[in-house]
Chains A and B, each alone.
Chain A
Amino acid sequence: MFSTRSRMSKIVVQVLATLIVIPYILPLVAMVQGSFAGRGIGNYQKVFGTGVVGTYFRNSIIISVGTIALVYVCTMLAAFGFAKLRIAGKEAWFWVLLAALTMPEAVLLTPLFVTASTFDMYNQLIAVILPLAALQVPFAILLARNFFEGIPTALMEAARVDGANVVKVFWYIVLPLTRPIAAAIVVLTLINSWNAYLLPMLMLNDPSKQVVTLLPSFFTSQYTNDQTGVLAAAVITAVPVIIAYLFLQKSFERGLSAGALK
């Protein structure tokens, strides 16, 4: 955007960018530094010593994978339907889904809590997966529909003429073209499900069913005032999601520019 032909302007751009990112990295530095304060690596040993880290991670992974799978299936099918097929009252259906985008988790609390208790789903991971997916699907469909609209219909018509049915067209022609937007949806859903706090806190009371976002508060309740241990717990929780993001970063950005919000 800025033309940087002269050496001077190159330096100015570089310095400005550096100044902007400094406040963004400082809290992370404080986190890592604090987690090693005092007993160094011993803080981490103490967190792993609680014996719950593995359980919490396993639960978080199940919830994330389950939510991503559900969101992916719902979104891909629905986005194709909205973008490329005939639906009576299409925009009305679309708005029904979009309105759910405004849904605050807080409104879900009472109904979900009571429903889950009634159907004996309290303390089951599925009681977190379903609402997380339901909250994520509207936004995912909004992004994906835009992307699907951009795939030329002629491409699909050609396959139809050759005798493929709609399901085959979707499977062999459309799906392989949707990888960028799928990556964006996977990353956004991963962030939201891995980081979910309120729903797991409410629905999962059983210690064997808790998730990584509850690790720092678990540690606080076990060892009051062991701040360094809490920070080590925070680092342990943060590292996997940062690594996952680094792996998916390129396709995530590509997907977002292709699905572009409007």
Chain B
Amino acid sequence: MSARTSTEVREGRSAGSAGRPGGGRPQVQQWKDRLEGSGIPWILLAVILVVGLIYFSIGYTGYVSTLDWNGFILSPADHVGASNFTTMFSDRVFWLALQHTAVFYVVTFTIQTAIGFFFAALMHSQLKLGNVYKVIIFVPTVLAPATMAPVFRNIFDTHGQFNWLLEHVGLNFLARPWLAENGTAMPVVMGITIWQWTGLTFILFYAAMSQIETEILEAARVDGAGNLRTLWSIVWPMCAGTTAALAVLGFIGALKTFDVPYLITKGGPNHATEFLGTYIYQTMVQQKHFGYAAAISIALLVLAIGGGVAMSIRNRAAEGK
């Protein structure tokens, strides 16, 4: 029964948003769109949780970023003003980590989007065993990087399965210790990330595509558009909202990157896979420079919020056109 009612709800909703893919809020709000009564008590719990923990943490981190402190509550902390930030701006590793984040974001986002989008289109093409394919591509997303790290360390080891595979297809000259070389550690980290998150990209595109009406595609076909042409000129633009949302999430995700480089390469070799997250952790936990770690955290936060807001505003503007 609940299944039926939820279908009705969805139908009502897509009628309201004039069948736009991705649904979305109705543009014109009707006069009876809100119930009587204040919503404040309803959002209170979420606000307390988020403000209490996250905003408190931001404030606290801001405070610690002005200290020279080893993290022990009893040991003295020197107030050093902005000196942690000046150190940061002249820290080679900090800039290196930023550079890695940028490259990492562009590469992983592009490849994930390409594979996820194309695969979603294939899954909407009445093929056999569709559900098996869907499960296979999504399973990496549900597995913890911590679970998979030992597996990938094995695979990319000098005597690992990847080199074995290369040797068996006659590409021996490519075989190398993938995680130990400066030039190959980063591609491996990116490859693992792509492997892990394509499933989510796929599933969101798949959801967006299921809201495109088949009549539109039929019309394109009648006008003589081929499969690829339809995909590129009709389906892709209609999924723009999803792509934009994924771009923002991917950007924030890239800045947050920690688990994979920490577990697979420890940020090495020689900082070749250093990210802001791994650098903060190392500064804080291994070197006990809590003040400096906090300063980098603040920089990370400014970048995430600044970038996220800028991208959302651009998306809004693009939608308005």
Contacts and interface: CB of A to CB of B under 8 A. Distances in A.
Given A1-B230, A97-B47, A234-B147, A104 B123 contact: no
Contacts of B57: 103, 107-108, 111-112
Contact of B10 (A10, A96, A258, A261): A258
B121 A191 contact: no
Contact of B297 (A23, A107, A138, A258): A107
B100 to A, nearest CB: 15
A177 B10 CA distance: 10
A22 B134 CA distance: 12
Contact of A246 (B16, B39, B135, B301): B135
A70 B155 CA distance: 38
Nearest to A130: B53
Given A177-B9, A198-B258, A166 B37 contact: yes
A238 B256 contact: no
Contact of A157 (B35, B211, B308): B35
A262 B39 contact: no
A249 B122 contact: no
A157 B252 CA distance: 39
B151 A111 contact: no
Contact of A237 (B49, B51, B147, B298): B147
A197 B146 contact: yes
A96 B51 contact: yes
Contacts of A112: 53, 57
A222 interface: no
A234 B40 contact: no
A234 B149 CA distance: 9
B9 A151 contact: yes
Contact of A16 (B64, B122, B155, B195): B122
B45 to A, nearest CB: 5
A191 B145 CA distance: 11
Interface in B221-245: 221, 227, 230-231, 235, 241-242, 245
A24 B198 contact: yes
Contact of B143 (A77, A195, A257): A195
Contact of B259 (A85, A160, A198, A234): A198
B43 A93 contact: yes
B47 A106 contact: no
A180 B5 CA distance: 11
A160 B152 CA distance: 57
Interface size class of B (residues with CB under 8 A): 35 or more
A73 B242 CA distance: 27
Nearest to A9: B227
Interface in A92-128: 93, 96-97, 99-115, 117-118
Interface residues of A, number: 116
Highest count of chain A CB atoms <10 Å: which of B2, B33, B147, B258? B147
B150 A216 contact: yes
B294 interface: yes
A85 B47 contact: no
B140 A110 contact: no
A24 B301 contact: no
Given A97-B46, A261-B241, A1 B147 contact: no
Given A152-B12, A160-B36, A234-B147, A260 B258 contact: no
B148 A27 contact: yes
Contact of A216 (B149, B211, B242, B285): B149
Nearest to B290: A110
B161 to A, nearest CB: 5
Contact of A1 (B150, B209, B241): B209
A143 to B, nearest CB: 11
B147 A85 contact: no
Contacts of B127: 4, 10, 13-14, 17
A86 B38 CA distance: 5
A150 B10 contact: yes
A200 to B, nearest CB: 9
B139 to A, nearest CB: 6
Nearest to A103: B54
Nearest to B309: A99
Interface string A242-262: 101110010001101110111
Interface in B87-140: 115, 118-128, 133-140
A177 B53 contact: no
Contact of B46 (A30, A78, A86, A152): A78
A166 B60 CA distance: 38
B58 interface: yes
B121 A214 contact: no
A169 B137 CA distance: 40
A108 B45 CA distance: 20
A25 B136 contact: yes
20 contacts: A1-B231, A27-B152, A34-B154, A86-B38, A87-B43, A99-B309, A104-B276, A110-B293, A130-B53, A131-B53, A134-B49, A135-B54, A149-B26, A150-B9, A157-B35, A180-B6, A197-B144, A213-B147, A238-B144, A258-B13
Q: Across chains A and B, which 10 residue pairs bring their CB atoms closest together, nearest first? A: A81-B42, A85-B39, A150-B13, A195-B144, A81-B39, A257-B207, A102-B304, A111-B60, A213-B146, A78-B46
Given A114-B60, A227-B150, 9 more contacts: A4-B127, A27-B152, A34-B154, A109-B281, A109-B284, A134-B54, A146-B23, A153-B35, A216-B149
